[in-house]
Structure 1
Amino acid sequence: MTENAAVEVQKASRVYGAGSSAVRALDEVSLTIRRGEFFTLLGPSGCGKTTLLRLIAGFETPTTGQILIDGKDVSQTPPNQRRVNTVFQSYALFPHLTVSQNIGFGLEMLGRPRAQIKDAVARMLALVKMEKMADRRPQMLSGGQQQRVALARALAPEPEVLLLDEPLSALDLKLRKEMQLELKRLQTETGITFVFVTHDQEEALTMSDRIGVMSAGNLLQVGAPREIYNRPVNRFVADFIGETNFLTATIRNGIPRLSNGEAVQAKGPARLDGKTVTLAVRPEQVRIDPEGPIHATIAQTVYFGTDTHCHLRLADGTELVARLQSPPSGDIGLKAGEKVRIGFVPGAVQMLEG
């Protein structure tokens, strides 16, 4: 058991079917989720993130490997015997029950005393700021309000771990942004370990203490949002998290050079000398600089209000984007066809694997 671990996944695999038709949804994933943290599983559809969540919840059993919660192997333990609750995409509120009754339902099923249920419901109503709507039924609530009730119902039994399977996907953009902050507030106030599943990078970056990026049943990188964004371990992570420019270069005497010989400052292993590598740099880390080492041509500029995206074309035809802050006039003074030189923020260019 790892110290301070709420959830440990040890070489867990999940295979559906057999023989040539077998599908490996999860491939020997190992992961430790710390007690009291907001952890997000992030990746595209079909990457295995929901399968992993279902293994933790107990809705699926691992084909191989183990799932530990609070240091105990629960791989074969049914969901109702784990101190884990799940919030799904559909809130699944009982339409014939009031908000208070929905929140207290799970506690009733656990046989808690009436006084204890009443106190817990009152605390949950206050936590999700729904006191004035205690007697309303779900059909009288907005999507965001129903989401709060579903969260309160899941939190009421005080689980060790709360699992959230893309619970914000049905909300409109404005409400989704509000609920991102609300979820983080709830997690901080309760101190419960949250494991959140999403394909939305903004949700992951906004709320998480740490993020696990998944692809094709594998866990590619685990780290804090800033680490994942600024130091991706491979091209998939760099491409999936935020916008990224990719350059192809060849290492010569330890220095990456573009096809026309222009040098780019990015450190890599000496053993790569003579090899072709991929370099990644974020648009906000590209600078229009008269003294810059790279020659480029302005392809077009696109105004986004606070930012202007400057689309550039290098001598070898590679295209990249510089995200520049718009001046008060809104005109950055660059026109299509103009020749410029560019540079990069020191230390911003990453040499990637894969």
Structure 2
Amino acid sequence: MTTDVAVEARNAVKAFGQGETAVRALDDVSIQIRKAEFFTLLGPSGCGKTTLLRLIAGFETPTSGQILLDGKDITNDPPNKRPVNTVFQSYALFPHLSVAQNIAFGLEMLGRPRAEITKTVERMLALVKLEAMAGRKTSQLSGGQQQRVALARALAPQPKVLLLDEPLSALDYKLRKEMQLELKRLQTETGITFIFVTHDQEEALTMSDRIAVMSAGHIQQIGGPREIYTRPVNRFVADFIGETNFLSGEAGEGRVTLASGDVVQVEGAEGRKGKVTVVIRPEQVRLAEAGAAETIPATVESLVYFGTDTHCHLRLKDGTEMVARLQSPASGEAGLQQGQSVGLRFAPGAARVLED
């Protein structure tokens, strides 16, 4: 039976230590990653994302559970018996070899014919746009160029799956942004399944077909970037992915009465009663003149200019703090002042009752 699943973890547990002091880095994790998918494991340090990557690579063996590739159980297969390659944070290039020799190294270890190696190296150099650097030592390259060599070397044997363990973390911001686009291009052109580990939400949202948000050894949510951002399943996901406003309130009759006393219509309030949390992204907060109809009274606490955006920090009448992200006007005049009274409302359908 054919399947589009490239990698699967079934009830994977990884514990370090023994007895009561054992730490579960992964706690009964099950996940399916599709073929030709750019899949990202996202979460804070210590959440288990790198441990899961190492189980797939074969560098660690699960305490219990299974790892499958193309439906075959590879749980106990050594790394060199898996059609999987890994790109690490440190690129681990050979400084005494040229770019072309670095790319060829893995193919030579596999005993590939010389003509095939030459042809593959040429194709990889073209893929990562380093043809002019073929004869240069890797120590003479920039960080971004070294990253491309590491990718080309990992892609050269045509693995079924490429694992990437925070490979952009050592690059500066501008170069990291460029490499995000390059990685997505490489994945699309090669059709290889990429499994990418990062703690950077922007990286995950930019490149991924799907994202698994992890915390404390568990998967909190799996979905596309837009779904993860706009429909987080719990407070952890909402708080970890981007900036979020959390408002306490009391649900009843399909509406929510906020702690400030203001009544709002929000998605998910129907059928709910009792204390709830309303979540709203800063860019979905709209400002109006003080006293405008159907607005929530607020006071401007501060304005922080970020170039394209201005973050307006607000305080509701009960002391609740909120942030509105406003597009910075071309004139440079924000039109708002600290201490100013304003009214705020939510973009239609943007505010939701959070499932805690």
- TM-score (normalised: structure 2): 0.97
Match of 1:40 in 2: 40
Structure 2 regions of 5+ residues with no counterpart?
Answer: none
Separation in structure 1 between the aligned mates of residue 206 and residue 185 of structure 2, nearest angstrom: 12
- 1:305, 1:330 within 8 Å by CA — same for their partners in 2? no
Match of 1:282 in 2: 281
Separation in structure 2 between the aligned mates of residue 39 and residue 87 of structure 1, nearest angstrom: 15
- C-alpha root-mean-square deviation of aligned residues, in Å? 1.3
- 2:67, 2:73 within 8 Å by CA — same for their partners in 1? yes
Q: Provide the secondary structure at the position in 1 that maps to 2:12.
A: strand
Q: Provide the secondary structure at the position in 2 that maps to 1:181.
A: helix
Deviation at 1:270, TM superposition (A): 5.1
35-44 or 1-10, larger mean C-alpha shift: 1-10
Deviation at 1:293, TM superposition (A): 2.9
Separation in structure 2 between the aligned mates of residue 202 and residue 117 of structure 1, nearest angstrom: 37
Q: Deviations over 1:46-94 (max 9, x none)?
A: 0000000000000011111110001100000100000000000000011
286-295 or 181-190, larger mean C-alpha shift: 286-295
Amino acid at match of 1:276: K
Q: Deviations over 1:264-308 (max 9, x none)?
A: 2213365531x2111111110000132233111111222222222
Amino acid at match of 1:293: T
- Equivalent residue in structure 2 for 1:319, among 318, 321, 343: 321
Match of 2:339 in 1: 337
Deviation at 1:201, TM superposition (A): 0.6
Q: Provide the secondary structure at the position in 1 that maps to 2:135.
A: coil
- 2:154, 2:162 within 8 Å by CA — same for their partners in 1? yes
Evaluate the alpha carbon distance shift between residue 293 and residue 252 of structure 1 in structure 2; reply closer, same or farther with a 3 A threshold.
farther
**Are 1:171 and 2:167 matched, yes or no?**
no
Separation in structure 2 between the aligned mates of residue 317 and residue 10 of structure 1, nearest angstrom: 47
Separation in structure 1 between the aligned mates of residue 293 and residue 227 of structure 2, nearest angstrom: 30
Separation in structure 2 between the aligned mates of residue 292 and residue 168 of structure 1, nearest angstrom: 46
Match of 1:3 in 2: 3
Separation in structure 1 between the aligned mates of residue 155 and residue 305 of structure 2, nearest angstrom: 44
1:64-79 alignment to 2 at 5 Å?
64-79=64-79
- 1:15, 1:26 within 8 Å by CA — same for their partners in 2? yes
Query: Identity of counterpart residues, as a percentage?
Result: 70
Amino acid at match of 1:310: C
- 2:128, 2:152 within 8 Å by CA — same for their partners in 1? yes
Matched length: 353
- Equivalent residue in structure 2 for 1:309, among 301, 308, 311: 311
Amino acid at match of 1:292: E
Amino acid at match of 1:132: A
1:49-68 alignment to 2 at 5 Å?
49-68=49-68
Q: Provide the secondary structure at the position in 2 that maps to 1:12.
A: strand
Q: Provide the secondary structure at the position in 2 that maps to 1:46.
A: coil
- TM-score (normalised: structure 1): 0.97
Separation in structure 2 between the aligned mates of residue 292 and residue 146 of structure 1, nearest angstrom: 56
**Are 1:183 and 2:183 matched, yes or no?**
yes
Amino acid at match of 1:14: K
- 2:161, 2:195 within 8 Å by CA — same for their partners in 1? yes
**Are 1:230 and 2:230 matched, yes or no?**
yes
Amino acid at match of 2:314: L
**Are 1:106 and 2:106 matched, yes or no?**
yes
Separation in structure 1 between the aligned mates of residue 2 and residue 54 of structure 2, nearest angstrom: 22
**Are 1:82 and 2:92 matched, yes or no?**
no
